[in-house]
Amino acid sequence: MDGAEFRRRGKEMIDYVADYLENIQERRVFPTVEPGYLHQLIPDHAPEEGEKWDDLFKDIERVIMPGVTHWNHPQFHAYFPSANSYPAMCADILCDAIGCLGFTWASSPACTELEVVMMDWLAKLLNLPEQFLSGGKGGGVIQGTASEATFVALLAARQKAIQDYRHNHPEIKNGEEVADKLVAYCSDNSHVSVERAGLLGRVKIVQLPADDKQSLRGDTLQEAINKDKSMGLIPCFVCATLGTTSSCAFDNIKELGPICEKEGIWMHVDAAYAGSAFICPEYRYLLDGVEHAMSFDFNPHKWLMVNFDCSAMWLKDSSYVVDAFNVDAAFLKTGGNDIKKTMPDFRHWQIPFGRRFRSLKLWFVLRLYGVRALQDIIRKQIALAHEFEGLVVKDGRFEIVAEVIMGLVCFRMKGPNEPNEKLLELINKNGRIHLVPGKIKSTYFIRFAVCAKSTESKDIAYAWSVIAELATRIISENKR
C-alpha cells in the first residue's frame, strides 16, 4: 500500500468507523459466538502474497464484528466506560504516523514535552495540589493503565521504605532483610490489581475491612498499622481507592492521608474511574485528602473522552520512582546531562521502556471539547445514573445496594443471591442490554454503568424495561 492508496483506504476506514459508531445501536450489544468461532473463519496461516484490500475489508464484518462486544453501544452498561471520541481518534492517527518512541527527551522532544504540559493541564483541571505539577520534585506521566500505575507506586514505595529504614538502621547490611518485612494495605473492595501488584512486587498486601459504605476508614488502618509494627513489620504503602470497581465506593482519604503522612507510609490514590468527575467543582470534595498522597492516578481513558490507553499518574517526588527504575545504557546518553535537570526521563517512571506519543490524544480532546463540554458529559452521565436509580427504587422488588454518587448503580432483587445470578444470566443471554455483576462481602448484585457517550434517557428507560420484564420471568419461574 503506497501513499496514494492509503489516502483512499484510510478515508474508507474513516467512513467505515463513522458508520459503525453512528449505527452501533442496530447491532447486538453482546455477541452470540461460542469460544473458538474465529479460527474456523480464516486460514490457519498468513498468505504468501499480499491480498486485496477489498477482501480484507469485507472480513471486518464477516470475521470480526460477530465477535465484538460493543463497548460504545448505548445498551452497553458493563464494567466502566471505555472512553471514545473522534478528536482522540484523529490524534491517534497522527501519533501512529509520527511513530516516534519517547523513552528519552532526545528520542523525540515533543513527545516528552507535550506530555509534561498536558499533565499540568489535567492537574489544574482536577485542582490537584501544586506538589504534583512539573517544575518541582513532582510531576505527571501517562501510564498505560491504572493497574500499572498502582504497581509503579508500590515499587517506588518499596524503594523508599527500604532506603528510609536503612538510613535509620545503618547496621542493616542487606536491603533484602528489610524488603521481607514490608507490608501494604488496601480495602477489601480494592481492584484486583492492588493484590496483583503485591504478588508481583513481593510485598505482602493486607486487605482491610471497609465500613458499611464500603469505605476504608482511618481507625481501621491505624489499628492494622499498630498491630503489624508491634510484630516487627514495616508498613510502607496504602492504596486508597476513590470509586471502587464493584460499587464506586470512596475510601476516606481525609482520614487515611494524615495517618499515612504521620507514619511515613506512601499513600497512592487510585481514582481510575471517578477521577474524571473531579473536573467538576461540585465533585472535587471527594478528592480532599489527596494533598497527603505521594501518588495519584486516574484514567482519562475511562471517562474523559480519551481513547485507551491513557492513565494519568502524578508523583509528589519522582526521584523515588526514578531510583527504583533507573538502569542506563550508552545509547541513551544522547544529549547531555543538563536535560535531566529540566526534563523528565519518562522511561524511568514506568514499567516498559518504549512509549508512544499518547499526549496528543489529551491535547486534541482538551482543546476541541474544552473544559465545559467535558464537565457536561460527566454531569449528564451522572444524571442518567440517578434516573436509573429512580426506576430501581420505584420497583418494590428491587433494592439499591450502594449510594449512587457517580455513573454506576448497584442494584439487586431483594432476597437471596441466586435469583439475581439467574437474572443477570438471562439478561445477557437475552442480549438486548449488557451488564456484569459485583459482590460486596457475600452479597451478589448487578452493576449498571452509564458508558457510551451517546447514552440518553430513552436508553435508561429501555434498559430498565428489559430488566423489569426479565425479573418478572425469573420470579414466575421461581414460583413454579
CB 412 within 8 Å of CB 399:
yes
Tally Cβ neighbours within 10 Å of residue 254: 16
The DSSP string of 304-323 is SS--SS-EEEEES-THHHHH
Q: In sequence order, which residues have a C-beta less than 8 Å from that of residue 464 and are 6 or more positions away?
A: 388, 391, 392
Residue with cell string 482520614: 255
Residue 461 Cβ, how far from a copy of itself at the closest point, in Å? 24
Of 90-98, 234-242, 388-396, 400-408: span binding a copy of itself (CB under 8 A)? 90-98
Cell of 26: 442496530
Q: Which of 169, 373, 414, 465 binds a copy of itself (CB under 8 A)?
A: 373
Residue 275 Cβ, how far from a copy of itself at the closest point, in Å? 15
Residue 170 Cβ, how far from a copy of itself at the closest point, in Å? 21
Q: Which of 29, 71, 406, 413 binds a copy of itself (CB under 8 A)?
A: 71
Residues 199-238 that bind a copy of itself (CB under 8 A): 199-202
Of 259 and 304, which CB lies nearer to a copy of itself in the complex structure? 304
Q: In sequence order, which residues have a C-beta less than 8 Å from that of residue 75 and are 6 or more positions away?
A: 25, 29, 432, 433, 434, 459, 462, 463
The angle formed by the CA atoms of residues 467, 473 and 477, to the nearest 5 degrees, is 145
Residue 238 Cβ, how far from a copy of itself at the closest point, in Å? 18
Residue 310 Cβ, how far from a copy of itself at the closest point, in Å? 11
Residues 413-432 that bind a copy of itself (CB under 8 A): 428
Residue 140 Cβ, how far from a copy of itself at the closest point, in Å? 13
The DSSP string of 382-423 is HHHHHHHHHHHHHSTTEEE-S---SSEEEEEESS-SHHHHHH
Per rule CB under 8 A, is residue 173 in the interface with a copy of itself?
A: no
Per rule CB under 8 A, is residue 303 in the interface with a copy of itself?
A: no
Residue 445 Cβ, how far from a copy of itself at the closest point, in Å? 9
Report CA 392 to chain centroid distance, whole Å: 27
Of 152 and 253, which CB lies nearer to a copy of itself in the complex structure? 152
Buried b (16+ CB within 10 A) or exposed e, 106-139: ebbeebbbbbbebbbbbbebbebbebbbbeeebb
Q: In sequence order, which residues have a C-beta less than 8 Å from that of residue 89 and are 6 or more positions away?
A: 17, 307
Residues 94-133 that bind a copy of itself (CB under 8 A): 94, 96-101, 105-111, 113-114, 116-117, 120-122, 124-125
Torsion of CA 43, 49, 54, 59, to 10 degrees: 10
Residues 432-451 that bind a copy of itself (CB under 8 A): 436-439, 444, 447
Q: Which of 36, 170, 281, 396 binds a copy of itself (CB under 8 A)?
A: 36
Of 50 and 396, which CB lies nearer to a copy of itself in the complex structure? 50
Could you give the strand order of the β-sheet that contains 234-241, starting from the edge strand earlier in sequence?
Answer: 139-143, 311-315, 295-298, 266-270, 234-241, 182-187, 204-208
Tally Cβ neighbours within 10 Å of residue 3: 8
Per rule CB under 8 A, is residue 54 in the interface with a copy of itself?
A: no
Per rule CB under 8 A, is residue 172 in the interface with a copy of itself?
A: no
Residues 321-360 that bind a copy of itself (CB under 8 A): 324-325, 327-334, 338-339, 342-343, 351-354, 356, 360
- Look at strands 204-208 and 266-270 and give their pairing: unpaired
Per rule CB under 8 A, is residue 148 in the interface with a copy of itself?
A: yes
Of 24 and 259, which CB lies nearer to a copy of itself in the complex structure? 24
Please state the φ and ψ torsions of residue 40, each to the nearest 5 degrees.
Answer: -75, -15
Q: Which of 29, 70, 128, 278 binds a copy of itself (CB under 8 A)?
A: 70
Residue 217 Cβ, how far from a copy of itself at the closest point, in Å? 22
Q: Give the number of residues in contact with a copy of itself, rule: CB under 8 A.
A: 144
